[in-house]
Amino acid sequence: MKSCQLTKIVMLTVISFLMVVSGCDLEKKDNSIAEEMERSRAKIESGQTIGSLAQVYAPDAIAVRGYAIVGGLRGTGSSECPPQIRDYLTQYILRYLPDKDVNKFINSKDTSVVIVEGLMPTSPVRGQRFDVRVAAPDATQTTSIEGGRLYGAELRAAGTFGVMTKVLAYAEGPVYIDKIDGISDEKIGYVLNGGVVLDDYKIVLSLREPDYLVANTIRNKLIERFGDGVANALSAGQVEIKIPSQYVSRKQQFVSIVKSTYLNLTGQKKEQKIKELISQLAGSNEKDVAEAVLEAIGKDSLKPLKKLLDLNSVDEEVRFRAARCLLNLGSDEGFSILREIALDDNSSYRMAALEAVSMSARQSDIEGLCRRLLRDGDTKMKIAVYERLRQLDDIAITAENIAGDFSFEQIALTRDRMIFVSRSGQPRIAVFGGPIYCSKNIFIQSPDGYITINGLPEQNFITIIRHIPGKPEIPPISLQCSYELGNIIRTLGLEPTRKKEGTMVGLGISYSQIIELLKKMVEQGAVDAEFYAGSMPQISLK
């Protein structure tokens, strides 16, 4: 009996002790949580920016590379192909081109293995297009890939290879070899706008010190500033960001604004900060930083920014930057000033003003300004305006697809006659001030002699003759068309087909050959117009 009572006493003592210890632990845990919460609040209320609390990871341009086949070479290709690449291409062809005899296809003199390289855009999104470079390896006997077509190529991160590595992009299309600037290496070309990004790449904020409260506060702040769905707190250490639609064309600027966003800036502190930033924008060398922070702060920056619009009190750069910031914050006053700058022939900021308007203004405002600038005397300005209008599908531009390889576009509302040809992005020939007619007496021949454009003064039509390269036994194709430049381009570029009545349409000449002929027609006075070629693709994988 005494033993039983003693056991109960011991058990009660142990339970009491455990309860005391447990209570102490709970109290310590509560104190620890409270201290952690206090530290989190202190970070938020200390007036720090997102950039000071987190590292922003925005994907740069991604270098991609792959191997593929270019076909349609008419005897200028080769059968050489390194064994490892042949094994890969064999698997690829069996998967995507099952109707092909693999060995016969690779060994044909009408095909060539090529190295495909490109740069996916900064923070790429699914479906976004980019130029790719294609080149026959030096070790092969391929002499030219001109006139060829790149069969589908899987592109992986440069430096990786094999079916087990992730495919980041896909590329295919006709090969463009530039000869406008003179003789080119015909083993190297481009597929303009031929690369396609396969996935979205979101921006990620990585907190320097993981903290749930800070991560959620950053998410809420970005949603408050840019709208629902823009941010998602994945964990205590990461916040994922989706670029808002208004910043898709200004990705780097958006990243700068995110970094510059204050988590807790209110009252007098905000007023003082804005005052400091206005002074910085007006007088320091760090104008980019000041502009980004003012835009990050938002609507409270509007009134102070408007004071910088007086031309007599600030220089042109400050006025331009203030107007751009105002427009990005939704102010019509910003648009009015930028419009004024864009229309000023003497302003060194007119192109930048047009770009700012194109990025942020209402569509009707962009179209109104651009249509007026189509009559501008500066060639580069007219082309920049044309690029903006075509992005908006404006009615001032009519476009038609030629054989799926390039676009033929005509631009109304222009006084001067000009032919613009692109050498990066979507392949296109744009005619300003059309319709344009060739002179009655015309004789133009391509440098290789395979294409002849001939028109006699007494005739109401032009004759275009095409010889088949490497096939002297095949009779040349001869077609007739009007002197109107659009009809000449269609006749050159459309695929050879026979109508029901038996007449032929199209010669199937490549885009690169057509624009080479157009340049020659202008140079020899057959076409009374200015010729302007766009810039070449900038693909540097270093």
Q: What is the number of domains present in the chain?
A: 4
Q: Identify whether residues 77 and 169 lie together within a single domain.
A: yes
CA distance 119 to 534: 19
CATH number, domain containing residue 313 = 1.25.10
pLDDT, position 82: 85
Helix (H) or strand (E) holding 152: strand 149-157
Q: Identify whether residues 354 and 492 lie together within a single domain.
A: no
Q: Identify whether residues 312 and 400 lie together within a single domain.
A: no
CA distance 67 to 62: 17
Q: Residue type for 376, please?
A: D
CA distance 430 to 377: 17
3 state SS for 186-215? CCEEEEEEEEEECCCCCEEEEECCCCHHHH
CB 224 within 8 A of CB 210: no
Q: Identify whether residues 176 and 312 lie together within a single domain.
A: no
The reply to whether 423 falls in a domain is yes
Which of 137, 166, 197 represents a domain boundary (last residue)? 197
Q: Identify whether residues 170 and 276 lie together within a single domain.
A: no
pLDDT, position 518: 96
pLDDT, position 285: 83
The reply to whether 85 falls in a domain is yes
pLDDT, position 251: 86
Nearest to 349 by CA among 382, 317, 387: 317
CA distance 450 to 186: 16
Per residue of the chain (542 residues), give pLDDT as tens: 545 565 555 465 555 555 554 555 555 555 555 666 666 666 676 668 999 999 988 888 899 999 999 999 988 999 998 888 888 898 888 887 788 888 899 999 999 999 999 999 888 889 999 999 999 998 889 999 998 999 989 999 998 876 678 999 999 999 999 988 877 789 999 999 999 999 988 889 999 999 999 999 999 999 998 889 899 999 999 999 988 888 888 888 899 999 999 988 888 989 999 999 999 999 878 899 999 999 999 999 999 999 999 877 778 999 999 999 999 999 999 999 999 999 999 999 999 999 999 999 999 999 999 999 999 989 999 999 999 999 999 999 999 999 989 999 999 888 889 999 999 999 999 999 878 999 988 999 998 888 999 998 888 899 999 987 766 777 888 999 999 999 999 999 999 888 777 678 899 999 999 999 999 999 999 999 999 999 999 887 65
pLDDT, position 70: 95
pLDDT, position 24: 54
CA distance 531 to 520: 10
The reply to whether 56 falls in a domain is no
Nearest to 66 by CA among 122, 126, 135, 143: 135
Q: Identify whether residues 394 and 540 lie together within a single domain.
A: yes
Phi, psi of 188 (to 5 degrees): -125, 130
The reply to whether 313 falls in a domain is yes
Question: Distances in Å between the alpha carbon of 441 and those of 110, 462, 489?
Answer: 38, 9, 18
The packing angle between helices 379-391 and 350-360, to 10°, is 0
Nearest to 90 by CA among 515, 81, 438, 493: 81
CA distance 485 to 542: 42
Whole domain around residue 505: which residue ranges? 382-542
CA distance 55 to 127: 27
Phi, psi of 401 (to 5 degrees): -90, 135
Q: Identify whether residues 404 and 502 lie together within a single domain.
A: yes
pLDDT, position 98: 81
Tell me, what DSSP letter sits at residue 438?
Answer: B
CB 344 within 8 A of CB 338: no
The reply to whether 221 falls in a domain is no
pLDDT, position 50: 92
Q: Identify whether residues 492 and 397 lie together within a single domain.
A: yes
CB 436 within 8 A of CB 489: no
The reply to whether 515 falls in a domain is yes
Which of 361, 394, 428 represents a domain boundary (last residue)? 361
The reply to whether 164 falls in a domain is yes
Q: Identify whether residues 86 and 121 lie together within a single domain.
A: yes
Q: Identify whether residues 258 and 300 lie together within a single domain.
A: yes
Q: Identify whether residues 440 and 311 lie together within a single domain.
A: no
CB 69 within 8 A of CB 113: yes
How are beta strands 504-505 and 497-498 bridged, if at all?
antiparallel
Nearest to 436 by CA among 355, 530, 347: 530
pLDDT, position 111: 94
Question: How big is the chain, counted in residues?
Answer: 542
